[in-house]
Amino acid sequence: GNSVTQMEGPVTLSEEAFLTINCTYTATGYPSLFWYVQYPGEGLQLLLKATKADDKGSNKGFEATYRKETTSFHLEKGSVQVSDSAVYFCALSEGNTDKLIFGTGTRLQVFP
Amino acid sequence: SAVISQKPSRDICQRGTSLTIQCQVDSQVTMMFWYRQQPGQSLTLIATANQGSEATYESGFVIDKFPISRPNLTFSTLTVSNMSPEDSSIYLCSVEDYGYTFGSGTRLTVV
């Protein structure tokens, strides 16, 4: 079945460091791919999405490119801030059912 | 994007009791989804709710434990029945729009 694999956390960085959180997927067909962020004590927010191969989603300085050849959707940010500390979830939607399948989440901790 | 009002935001319940969680959406949507997020873990889909039909449950979830109502295109409820401490989780509803919008979640603690 379809699945999403994320790098384990926590990822600990200093402010202004470069961030990469790896995400790979297994899917039949052509799923849409998403990154969600969950700040401490809050609900889930959509960070960015991509719906087809080579699409790049971007928001708030974060980017991710849908790579069909490597089945990946890695999240990157050039310079992280303390306020980026949160849990990040990679997800895919199955086109025939519209339900989301989530990765296990990666906790990011940014220190000043 | 859609706005979802979910309540209660949190509750502490006695084992053996039931809790009903409500989600109200500010626009009409075909499908609503209910997820569970156990402590420190990812989200798992419980069921998909369409208006006018029985909810479709994922493997490991049954209607007797998690009955769902979907009386119209803007509202749904999830009941957690006969609760045990293992049901302590965050429960979230979701709808598909630009990128799936989630309610703010219900943090349930069963004691």
* DSSP of A15-53: TT--EEE-EEEE-SS--EEEEEEE-TT--EEEEEEE-ST
- A104 with B105: Cβ contact below 8 A: no
Q: How far apart are CA A72 and CA A6, in angstroms?
A: 10
Residue segments in chain A with a per-residue pLDDT below the cut of 70: 96-97
Question: What is the gyration radius of the CA atoms in chain A, in angstroms?
Answer: 13
What digits encode the pLDDT tens for the residues B32-87? Answer: 999 999 988 889 999 999 888 889 999 999 999 999 999 999 999 999 999 999 99
Choose from B1, B58, B89, B102 for mutation: most chain A CBs within 10 A. B102
Contact B23, B75 (CB under 8 A): yes
The arithmetic mean of pLDDT across residues B102-109, rounded, is 94
Specify the pLDDT at position A96: 67
Specify the pLDDT at position A110: 97
Tell me the shortest Cα–Cα distance from A106 to chain B, in angstroms: 10
Q: How far apart are CA B98 and CA A62, in angstroms?
A: 18
Specify the pLDDT at position A29: 81
- CA B106 distance to own-chain centroid: 8
The arithmetic mean of pLDDT across residues B98-110, rounded, is 91
Specify the pLDDT at position B98: 75
The arithmetic mean of pLDDT across residues B3-22, rounded, is 96
The arithmetic mean of pLDDT across residues B15-25, rounded, is 97
